Amino acid sequence: MVKVKEIINRFYRFAPRFIAEPNDPVGLQLGDMEHEVKKMMLTLDVRPDVVKEAIENDVDFIFAHHPAMFVPVHQIDLSNPQQKMYADILKHGITVFGAHTLLDNANGGTSDWLAEDLGLKDCEILLSEKQETWYKLAVFVPENDAEKLRNALGAAGAGKLGNYSHCSYSLKGTGRFLPEDAANPYIGTPGKAEEVAEQKVEVVFPAHLKEKVLDAMRKNHPYEEIAFDLYRVEGLGEKYGMGRIGNLRHPMTVKEYAEFAKKALNVEGVRLIAKDQNKLVKKVAVLGGSGSKFYGDALKKGADVYVTGDVTYHTAHDIYESGLAVIDPGHYFESVCKYRLTDIFKNWTKEENWPIEVMTSRINTNPFKLI
């Protein structure tokens, strides 16, 4: 059987925990990470109809983009449909996980899916970039034990650079020490100075592997007291961030692009803010969900059009005067995540040989209808 925590740990390799926005309630929403999964369901939102669908389909794990709980719940009033939903989730032994900004900031996540659907190329991150801290470990080890140590560090994930693993650097030298009377040296005798042919082994690794790598070093190093240096290094690792900005393959007018976006995003309609609907569009920014407050970032990066949801009236006036065109397809245009996540989890199920079924919620949770 596969536990929820195994599935989530695989997801964290795709979307590391550090990329979530501050104070975003991502992660376990209800249930138990030790719960065994037979059938999981992907959804944009966790709403009463979605939970009913999960119960009817014997789903025991719901993986959602939007967290089920954005604010703490202080009491469970079963006359309230949303709070009764929480009780139904627990009653039927369903575990719920919310990805939210983990998925929005992930490379190959929501922002990239929307950019692809909107026909963008040469994309860059729209908002501020996030990059995990990396370390360099330099450890001194007897020459005869260096290969074993290098292999152990590589197995722990150190030395992974792009498509290359087990990367390291070694420098030969001489180690000197004097074991004291209470010492139990691997080489040498207490009270007698010793010289040993050693290698300095260097590897780099991301911060989330720090304890795992240091543990591998301790378990595979022969010395009673290990000499090592640990440094922070810059410029390594993937960059993550929310939103994308890129170029259209074929320029078109604002009006033409609004029609294109409507079809590409499979929405009933869009709201358009534009002083000049005949302006030529070459560069487009996109941010899933409610991104109107970031229109200034789209302007600074030279966007002709900004695609985002939930633009408010007064902000729309400011956008209009700025000269930036905005296409608002509504918050629900993030629903692309349901189908993309389904494909990802089905692939992981095959790769990991998980005996679970993966399904996509069929419920349209968009509360707005155009009439």
| pLDDT attached to residue 61 | 98
| pLDDT attached to residue 76 | 86
Phi, psi of 169 (to 5 degrees): -135, 140
| pLDDT attached to residue 74 | 83
The answer to the question of residue 369 being in a domain is: no
The answer to the question of residue 365 being in a domain is: no
110: exposed, middle or buried (Cβ count in 10 Å: 0-12, 13-18, 19+): buried
Task: Flag whether 147 is marked binding.
Answer: no
Q: Show the low-confidence residues of the chain (pLDDT under 50).
A: none
If asked whether residues 154 and 214 sit together in one domain, one would say yes
In the chain, the number of structural domains is 3
Task: Flag whether 343 is marked binding.
Answer: no
| pLDDT attached to residue 64 | 98
If asked whether residues 308 and 248 sit together in one domain, one would say yes
**C-alpha–C-alpha distance, residues 52 and 55, integer Å:** 5
Which pTM was predicted? 0.87
If asked whether residues 39 and 85 sit together in one domain, one would say yes
| pLDDT attached to residue 312 | 97
The answer to the question of residue 158 being in a domain is: yes
**100-115 pLDDT per residue, tens:** 999 999 999 999 999 9
| pLDDT attached to residue 282 | 97
Bridge partner list, 2 = 37
Q: Is 340 helix (H, G, I), strand (E, B) or coil?
A: helix
Task: Flag whether 74 is marked binding.
Answer: no
Task: Flag whether 66 is marked binding.
Answer: yes
CA distances (Å), origin 117, targets 41, 74, 84, 90, 243: 23, 40, 37, 37, 13
Residue from 262, 255, 261, 244 nearest 303 by CA: 244
Q: What is the CATH number of the domain that holds 170?
A: 3.30.70.120
Task: Flag whether 100 is marked binding.
Answer: no
| pLDDT attached to residue 370 | 87
| pLDDT attached to residue 72 | 80
The answer to the question of residue 10 being in a domain is: yes
If asked whether residues 291 and 153 sit together in one domain, one would say no
* Domain of residue 354, residue span: 2-102+335-360
The answer to the question of residue 162 being in a domain is: yes
The answer to the question of residue 367 being in a domain is: no
If asked whether residues 31 and 167 sit together in one domain, one would say no
Order of strands, sheet of 27-30, starting from the edge strand that comes earlier in the sequence: 27-30, 95-98, 61-64, 39-43, 357-360
